[in-house]
Amino acid sequence: MNRWDADIEKVSRSLLRYVRRKGEKGDWVPAKDAFKAAIKKHSALEWAHYIEIHPKAKIVVTSAVEKLMKSEFRDIKRKKRGTYRGAPVFFRVRR
């Protein structure tokens, strides 16, 4: 278990809650906005400071978000615009 697993899970859960709030009318929510809001909310976490120094480390959030979407947030849908690495990702609440 990674020393930041709990922090990453908190940020991921917060990201998906943000999507639920902003996407409740069926609007697509940019993952970038949700991630920024989650980091801001959990700015006291050690991992939030680490991510500012190592932005590529946020890839671990993708894995955590996918796991949470399968278990707790089944009502959220993910879409990637494009097939290339770094393509914009969007979320919305399924209707």
pLDDT digits (tens, 9 = 90+) for 30-43: 999 999 999 999 99
Beta-carbon-side half-sphere exposure of residue 87 (alpha carbons within 13 Å): 9
Query: Count of residues for the chain?
Result: 95
Q: In what order do the strands lie in the sheet with 76-80?
A: 29-30, 89-93, 76-80
Q: Is 52 left (phi over 0), alpha (psi -120 to 50) or beta?
A: alpha
pLDDT at 1: 59
Domain map (residue ranges) of the chain: 5-93
Taking the chain, what is the end-to-end CA distance rounded to the nearest angstrom? 36
Reported pTM = 0.89
Q: Show the low-confidence residues of the chain (pLDDT under 50).
A: none
Q: Give dist(CA 81, CA 86) in Å, integer.
A: 10
H helix or E strand, kind and range, residue 89: strand 89-93
